[in-house]
Structure 1
Amino acid sequence: MSKLINWKSDWFSNNFHLFVDGIQKGAITFGTWRSNAESRFEDQNYQFVNKGFWQSSTRITDKKTNEVLAVITYDSWKSKAVISLKTGEQYEWKSKGLWKSQWTVSNYKDEHIVYTSGSNSGSIASDTDHKLLIIAGLFIKQVYNKRTILMMACIVPVITTSTLHHH
């Protein structure tokens, strides 16, 4: 079954709102200072809790039962991540294109989700109803966005300072 979901993000809070047929069906809400998040999509509620200094992994739990449903492991050097479900199934999150405006979540067999984005909105084309995977794909994109912003915040002052000292 093919499903089309539209999403919009709040510019300052980095929260996402998910729409199906123009009706809001879900949201991802990030913590103010951390990349932890809570989400709901249709009848499912998830909590995303990051582990490690550079957020090398994220644990996804069912908010109703506190059961761990999946773990996301990030590849720090590439824009890639692996979503490992408690069932043992694994899905790869991968960024595509030069501007990173498209990314996928796939098991390379029968489940494939394609995300596209503009400045603060986009769409999700999914051939699966797996709500956790659909939400996780947006969550991972936001984690990589925050890493990029953090790296820029650290690198730009260093470049600026070294440039000023050489003149």
Structure 2
Amino acid sequence: MSKFINWKNDWFSRNFQLFVDGAQKGMITFSAWRSNAESMFEDKNYQFVNENFWQSRTKVIDRKTNEVAAIITYDSWKSKAVISLNNGEQYEWKSTGMWKRQFTISNDKDAHIMYSSGSNSGSISSDTDNELLIIAGLFIKQIYNNRAAIIIACIVPIITTSTLHH
């Protein structure tokens, strides 16, 4: 069964709103100073908690049971991540577009979720009803957006300083 979801992102707060057939069905709310997040989609509620300073792993906690439902592990050199569910299943998140505007989650068997994004909105086409995977895709997108912003914030002053000295 295919599921189509639209999302909007508030650029300044980094939060997402998820819509099905025009009605808001969920959201992802990020912490003000950290990349942790609370999410709700349909009847599921998850908390995303980053481990360590470099955010190389994220625990996804089911808020109804307070158990770890998944672990997300990020590839530091590529725009890829692995979502490992507590039942042993693994899914790969990867960027598929040249401009990082498209990304997918797949297990190469029966689950495939495609995301496309604009500047502050996008769409999701999913052939799975797994809410955790659907939300995790947007969360991972934001983690990689944050990393890109940090890199730019670090490199621009260096380039500017070195250009002004020459």
Report the TM range for the smaller structure's normalisation.
Answer: over 0.9
Structure 1 unaligned blocks of 5 or more: none
Query: For the residues of structure 1 that align with 2:60 and 2:79, how far apart are their CA atoms?
Result: 20
Shift of 1:39: 0.1
Structure 2 segments unaligned to the other structure (5+ residues): none
**Residue number in structure 2 paired with 1:85:** 85
After TM superposition, the runs of 4+ consecutive aligned structure 1 residues lying more than 3 A away are none
Superposition TM-score, scaled by structure 2 size: 0.99
What is the count of residue pairs matched by the alignment?
166
| Aligned mates of 1:146, 1:113 — CA distance in 2 | 22
Structure-1-length-normalised TM-score: 0.98
Residues 56-135 of structure 1: pairs in structure 2 closer than 5 A: 56-135=56-135
Task: Tell me, in whole angstroms, the C-alpha distance in 1 between the residues paired with 2:115 and 2:97.
Answer: 12
2-structure distance, mates of 1:140, 1:97: 15
Alignment of 1:5-84 (within 5 A): 5-84=5-84
The code of the aligned residue for 2:125 comes to A
Residue identity over aligned pairs, in percent, reads: 75
Q: How many angstroms does 1:52 deviate by?
A: 1.6
Say what the alpha-carbon RMSD is for the aligned residues: 0.5
Give deviations 1:32-88, integer Å, cap 9, x for gaps.
010000000000000000012110000000112110000000001000000000000
